[in-house]
C-alpha cells in the first residue's frame, strides 16, 4: 500500500497508482481516504463487491461445514444409482 499526503496527492496520481496498489491518502499524518483501482473489473464484479447481501451470504456459507471431494463424489454416485 502506498501512502501519500493530501498536500502532495493529485487525483490523477492517486488513480494511476491505485491500479498497481491501494493508495492511502493522509492529512496531517492521519488516514482520510483510500483509493482502490478498479481497472479490469466488470460491472457485475463491482456490484457484488459492494453488496452487503452478497457478503452476508459469503459469511454464512463460510460458517457451514464442508465435504471432501471423495465424499462429494460418493454422494453424487449414490444419488445416480437406481
Spatial distance between the Cα atoms of 52 and 43, rounded to a whole number of angstroms: 16
Verdict on whether the full-model pTM lies above 0.95: no
Q: Strand locations in the chain, DSSP E?
A: 2-5, 23-27, 30-35
The grid cell for 64 is: 457451514
Per residue in 23-79, pLDDT (tens digit) is 999 999 999 999 999 999 999 999 998 899 999 999 999 999 999 999 999 999 988
pLDDT of residue 44: 92
Burial class of residue 23 in the structure, from the number of CB atoms within 10 Å of its CB (0-12 exposed, 13-18 middle, 19+ buried): buried
Could you give the domains of the chain?
A: 1-40 (3.40.1620), 41-82 (no CATH)
Which cell numbers hold the place of 25? 491518502
Residue 82 pLDDT > 80 = no
Amino acid at each position: 500500500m502506498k501512502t501519500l499526503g493530501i498536500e502532495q496527492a493529485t487525483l490523477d496520481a492517486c488513480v494511476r497508482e491505485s491500479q498497481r496498489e491501494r493508495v492511502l491518502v493522509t492529512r496531517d499524518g492521519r488516514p482520510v481516504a483510500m483509493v482502490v483501482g478498479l481497472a479490469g473489473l466488470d460491472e457485475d464484479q463491482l456490484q457484488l463487491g459492494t453488496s452487503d447481501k452478497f457478503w452476508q451470504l459469503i459469511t454464512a456459507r463460510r460458517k457451514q461445514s464442508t465435504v471432501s471431494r471423495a465424499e462429494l463424489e460418493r454422494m453424487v454416485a449414490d444419488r445416480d444409482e437406481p
